Chains A and B, each alone.
Chain A
Amino acid sequence: GAGVSQSPRYKVTKRGQDVALRCDPISGHVSLYWYRQALGQGPEFLTYFNYEAQQDKSGLPNDRFSAERPEGSISTLTIQRTEQRDSAMYRCASSSGQGTRGFYGYTFGSGTRLTVV
Protein backbone atom coordinates (compact mmCIF):
# COMPACT_ATOMS: atom_id res chain seq x y z
CA GLY A 1 0.00 0.00 0.00
CA ALA A 2 0.89 3.66 -0.12
CA GLY A 3 1.60 3.91 3.58
CA VAL A 4 1.91 1.79 6.70
CA SER A 5 -1.54 0.64 7.72
CA GLN A 6 -2.40 -0.32 11.26
CA SER A 7 -5.59 -1.77 12.60
CA PRO A 8 -7.59 -1.24 14.61
CA ARG A 9 -7.09 2.50 15.14
CA TYR A 10 -8.57 2.24 18.61
CA LYS A 11 -8.95 -0.76 20.86
CA VAL A 12 -10.59 -0.82 24.27
CA THR A 13 -10.28 -4.10 26.09
CA LYS A 14 -10.92 -5.43 29.53
CA ARG A 15 -8.04 -6.36 31.75
CA GLY A 16 -7.09 -9.99 31.26
CA GLN A 17 -8.20 -10.20 27.64
CA ASP A 18 -5.84 -10.91 24.75
CA VAL A 19 -5.45 -8.39 21.92
CA ALA A 20 -3.90 -8.61 18.47
CA LEU A 21 -2.65 -5.51 16.70
CA ARG A 22 -2.04 -5.64 12.98
CA CYS A 23 0.48 -3.85 10.79
CA ASP A 24 0.59 -3.84 7.00
CA PRO A 25 3.88 -2.22 5.90
CA ILE A 26 4.66 -0.36 2.73
CA SER A 27 4.85 -2.81 -0.15
CA GLY A 28 8.40 -4.02 -0.65
CA HIS A 29 9.71 -2.79 2.70
CA VAL A 30 11.76 -5.59 4.17
CA SER A 31 12.16 -4.15 7.67
CA LEU A 32 9.26 -3.77 10.09
CA TYR A 33 9.42 -2.30 13.57
CA TRP A 34 7.10 -2.15 16.55
CA TYR A 35 7.32 0.73 19.02
CA ARG A 36 5.13 1.81 21.91
CA GLN A 37 4.57 5.46 22.77
CA ALA A 38 3.07 6.72 26.00
CA LEU A 39 1.59 10.20 26.13
CA GLY A 40 4.30 12.83 26.35
CA GLN A 41 7.06 10.30 25.76
CA GLY A 42 9.15 9.26 22.80
CA PRO A 43 8.59 5.92 21.10
CA GLU A 44 9.96 2.90 22.94
CA PHE A 45 11.42 0.04 20.91
CA LEU A 46 9.68 -3.31 21.19
CA THR A 47 10.87 -5.56 18.35
CA TYR A 48 11.77 -5.63 14.68
CA PHE A 49 11.83 -7.97 11.68
CA ASN A 50 13.82 -8.29 8.51
CA TYR A 51 11.56 -10.20 6.16
CA GLU A 52 9.96 -12.88 8.32
CA ALA A 53 12.87 -13.18 10.75
CA GLN A 54 12.53 -11.51 14.12
CA GLN A 55 15.92 -9.85 14.52
CA ASP A 56 15.58 -8.27 17.93
CA LYS A 57 12.87 -8.71 20.56
CA SER A 58 14.83 -7.21 23.43
CA GLY A 59 12.29 -4.44 23.91
CA LEU A 60 9.31 -6.68 24.56
CA PRO A 61 8.43 -5.96 28.21
CA ASN A 62 7.64 -9.54 29.23
CA ASP A 63 6.45 -12.86 27.89
CA ARG A 64 2.87 -11.62 27.52
CA PHE A 65 4.05 -9.76 24.43
CA SER A 66 4.84 -11.53 21.18
CA ALA A 67 5.08 -10.62 17.53
CA GLU A 68 5.18 -12.45 14.25
CA ARG A 69 5.55 -11.73 10.55
CA PRO A 70 5.08 -15.16 9.01
CA GLU A 71 5.25 -14.25 5.32
CA GLY A 72 7.52 -11.28 5.56
CA SER A 73 4.74 -8.75 5.04
CA ILE A 74 1.91 -8.25 7.53
CA SER A 75 2.86 -8.40 11.19
CA THR A 76 0.81 -9.02 14.31
CA LEU A 77 1.70 -7.87 17.81
CA THR A 78 -0.15 -9.91 20.41
CA ILE A 79 -0.57 -9.00 24.04
CA GLN A 80 -1.93 -11.74 26.28
CA ARG A 81 -3.72 -11.16 29.58
CA THR A 82 -3.68 -7.41 29.15
CA GLU A 83 -3.01 -5.14 32.09
CA GLN A 84 -3.80 -1.45 32.56
CA ARG A 85 -0.12 -0.57 32.27
CA ASP A 86 -0.23 -1.87 28.67
CA SER A 87 -2.37 1.12 27.67
CA ALA A 88 -0.45 3.17 25.11
CA MET A 89 -0.17 4.01 21.42
CA TYR A 90 1.39 1.10 19.58
CA ARG A 91 3.22 2.23 16.46
CA CYS A 92 4.44 0.15 13.58
CA ALA A 93 7.02 1.40 11.13
CA SER A 94 8.66 -0.01 8.04
CA SER A 95 11.72 0.79 5.99
CA SER A 96 13.27 -0.44 2.81
CA GLY A 97 16.35 -1.72 4.61
CA GLN A 98 18.48 -0.60 1.70
CA GLY A 99 21.23 1.88 2.35
CA THR A 100 21.69 4.02 5.38
CA ARG A 101 18.51 6.05 4.98
CA GLY A 102 16.72 2.86 4.12
CA PHE A 103 17.53 1.45 7.50
CA TYR A 104 16.36 4.39 9.54
CA GLY A 105 14.05 6.30 7.29
CA TYR A 106 11.13 4.81 9.11
CA THR A 107 7.65 5.42 7.83
CA PHE A 108 5.40 5.12 10.83
CA GLY A 109 1.80 4.05 10.69
CA SER A 110 -0.96 6.02 12.40
CA GLY A 111 -0.80 3.68 15.37
CA THR A 112 -3.27 1.71 17.45
CA ARG A 113 -4.45 3.39 20.63
CA LEU A 114 -4.88 0.60 23.17
CA THR A 115 -6.84 1.24 26.33
CA VAL A 116 -7.11 -1.48 28.95
CA VAL A 117 -9.94 -0.94 31.41
Chain B
Amino acid sequence: QKEVEQNSGPLSVPEGAIASLNCTYSDRGSQSFFWYRQYSGKSPELIMSIYSNGDKEDGRFTAQLNKASQYVSLLIRDSQPSDSATYLCAVNPLGGSQGNLIFGKGTKLSVKP
Protein backbone atom coordinates (compact mmCIF):
# COMPACT_ATOMS: atom_id res chain seq x y z
CA GLN B 1 0.00 0.00 0.00
CA LYS B 2 1.60 3.23 -1.16
CA GLU B 3 1.23 5.89 1.50
CA VAL B 4 1.80 9.56 2.08
CA GLU B 5 2.06 10.59 5.71
CA GLN B 6 1.53 14.04 7.19
CA ASN B 7 1.11 15.34 10.71
CA SER B 8 -2.53 16.37 10.88
CA GLY B 9 -1.79 19.30 13.19
CA PRO B 10 -3.07 21.78 13.86
CA LEU B 11 0.17 23.67 13.42
CA SER B 12 -0.10 27.12 14.94
CA VAL B 13 2.39 29.87 14.10
CA PRO B 14 2.36 33.61 14.75
CA GLU B 15 1.98 36.05 11.89
CA GLY B 16 5.32 36.75 10.24
CA ALA B 17 6.91 33.47 11.33
CA ILE B 18 8.06 30.59 9.14
CA ALA B 19 5.65 27.67 8.90
CA SER B 20 7.24 24.29 8.21
CA LEU B 21 5.07 21.47 6.89
CA ASN B 22 6.41 17.97 6.46
CA CYS B 23 5.50 14.88 4.48
CA THR B 24 6.95 11.39 4.06
CA TYR B 25 6.09 8.87 1.39
CA SER B 26 6.52 5.12 1.14
CA ASP B 27 7.15 4.55 -2.58
CA ARG B 28 10.89 5.04 -3.07
CA GLY B 29 10.47 5.26 -6.84
CA SER B 30 8.15 8.26 -6.75
CA GLN B 31 9.18 11.03 -9.09
CA SER B 32 6.72 13.89 -8.74
CA PHE B 33 5.68 15.71 -5.60
CA PHE B 34 3.08 18.39 -5.00
CA TRP B 35 1.67 20.65 -2.36
CA TYR B 36 -1.97 21.65 -2.50
CA ARG B 37 -3.71 24.17 -0.27
CA GLN B 38 -7.32 23.64 0.77
CA TYR B 39 -9.29 26.31 2.56
CA SER B 40 -12.10 25.11 4.77
CA GLY B 41 -15.08 24.09 2.67
CA LYS B 42 -13.23 24.72 -0.57
CA SER B 43 -11.46 22.64 -3.18
CA PRO B 44 -7.71 21.93 -3.20
CA GLU B 45 -5.49 24.18 -5.32
CA LEU B 46 -1.95 23.44 -6.47
CA ILE B 47 0.67 25.75 -4.97
CA MET B 48 3.99 23.98 -5.53
CA SER B 49 5.47 21.10 -7.47
CA ILE B 50 8.97 19.62 -7.17
CA TYR B 51 10.66 16.85 -9.10
CA SER B 52 14.36 16.82 -8.14
CA ASN B 53 16.29 16.84 -4.89
CA GLY B 54 16.87 20.21 -3.30
CA ASP B 55 14.88 23.37 -2.87
CA LYS B 56 12.43 25.12 -5.13
CA GLU B 57 11.28 28.62 -4.28
CA ASP B 58 8.20 30.47 -5.44
CA GLY B 59 7.52 33.73 -3.65
CA ARG B 60 7.03 33.04 0.04
CA PHE B 61 6.87 29.28 -0.56
CA THR B 62 9.82 26.88 -0.66
CA ALA B 63 9.43 23.19 -1.38
CA GLN B 64 12.22 20.86 -0.31
CA LEU B 65 12.73 17.31 -1.53
CA ASN B 66 15.03 14.58 -0.23
CA LYS B 67 14.43 11.38 -2.17
CA ALA B 68 16.96 9.39 -0.13
CA SER B 69 14.98 10.12 3.02
CA GLN B 70 11.64 9.99 1.18
CA TYR B 71 10.79 13.37 2.62
CA VAL B 72 9.12 16.47 1.23
CA SER B 73 8.57 19.72 3.04
CA LEU B 74 6.95 23.08 2.45
CA LEU B 75 8.19 26.26 4.10
CA ILE B 76 6.02 29.35 4.19
CA ARG B 77 7.96 32.50 5.03
CA ASP B 78 6.34 35.59 6.56
CA SER B 79 3.18 33.61 7.32
CA GLN B 80 -0.07 35.53 7.00
CA PRO B 81 -3.50 34.80 8.51
CA SER B 82 -4.66 34.20 4.93
CA ASP B 83 -2.30 31.21 4.80
CA SER B 84 -4.49 29.44 7.37
CA ALA B 85 -5.67 26.33 5.56
CA THR B 86 -5.04 22.61 5.24
CA TYR B 87 -1.95 21.75 3.22
CA LEU B 88 -2.06 18.49 1.31
CA CYS B 89 1.06 16.66 0.16
CA ALA B 90 0.58 14.57 -2.98
CA VAL B 91 2.86 12.10 -4.74
CA ASN B 92 2.75 10.44 -8.15
CA PRO B 93 4.10 6.96 -7.39
CA LEU B 94 6.38 4.92 -9.59
CA GLY B 95 4.26 2.98 -12.00
CA GLY B 96 1.30 5.21 -11.35
CA SER B 97 -0.46 6.79 -14.25
CA GLN B 98 -0.25 10.50 -14.93
CA GLY B 99 -3.51 11.17 -13.19
CA ASN B 100 -3.01 9.03 -10.14
CA LEU B 101 -1.89 11.18 -7.25
CA ILE B 102 -1.74 9.81 -3.73
CA PHE B 103 -2.64 12.50 -1.22
CA GLY B 104 -1.80 12.68 2.45
CA LYS B 105 -4.48 13.56 4.99
CA GLY B 106 -3.21 17.12 5.18
CA THR B 107 -1.78 19.38 7.86
CA LYS B 108 -4.00 22.12 9.20
CA LEU B 109 -2.11 25.40 9.56
CA SER B 110 -3.35 28.25 11.71
CA VAL B 111 -1.57 31.62 11.50
CA LYS B 112 -2.39 33.84 14.48
CA PRO B 113 -2.40 37.63 14.01
Give every chain B residue within 8 A of A55 (Cβ-Cβ). Answer: 97-99
Q: Let me know if A31 is at the binding interface, CB within 8 A.
A: yes
Q: A42-B90, A42-B106 are in contact. Are A108 and B45 (CB under 8 A)?
A: yes
Task: List A residues 33-71 near B (Cβ within 8 Å).
Answer: 33, 40-45, 47-48, 50, 55-56, 58-59
Task: List A residues 81-102 near B (Cβ within 8 Å).
Answer: 91, 100-101
Q: Let me know if A105 is at the binding interface, CB within 8 A.
A: yes
Q: Let me know if B11 is at the binding interface, CB within 8 A.
A: no
| CB pair A43 B92 closer than 8 Å | no
The number of inter-chain residue pairs (CB within 8 angstroms) is 63
A113 to B15, CA, bound (A): 34
Q: Let me know if A103 is at the binding interface, CB within 8 A.
A: yes
| CB pair A45 B101 closer than 8 Å | yes
Number of chain A residues whose Cβ lies closer than 8 Å to a Cβ of chain B: 27
Interface magnitude class on chain B: 20 to 34
Shortest Cβ distance from residue B30 to the other chain A in the assembled complex, whole angstroms: 13
A31 to B51, CA, bound (A): 21
Q: Let me know if B67 is at the binding interface, CB within 8 A.
A: no
Task: List B residues 2-51 near A (Cβ within 8 Å).
Answer: 4, 8, 32, 34, 42-46, 49, 51
| CB pair B49 A101 closer than 8 Å | yes
Q: Let me know if A10 is at the binding interface, CB within 8 A.
A: no
| CB pair A58 B100 closer than 8 Å | yes
Extra 6 A-B pairs, beta carbons < 8 Å, given A45-B101, A59-B100: A40-B105, A48-B98, A58-B100, A104-B32, A104-B49, A106-B46
B-contacting residues of A (Cβ < 8 Å)? Answer: 31, 33, 40-45, 47-48, 50, 55-56, 58-59, 91, 100-101, 103-111
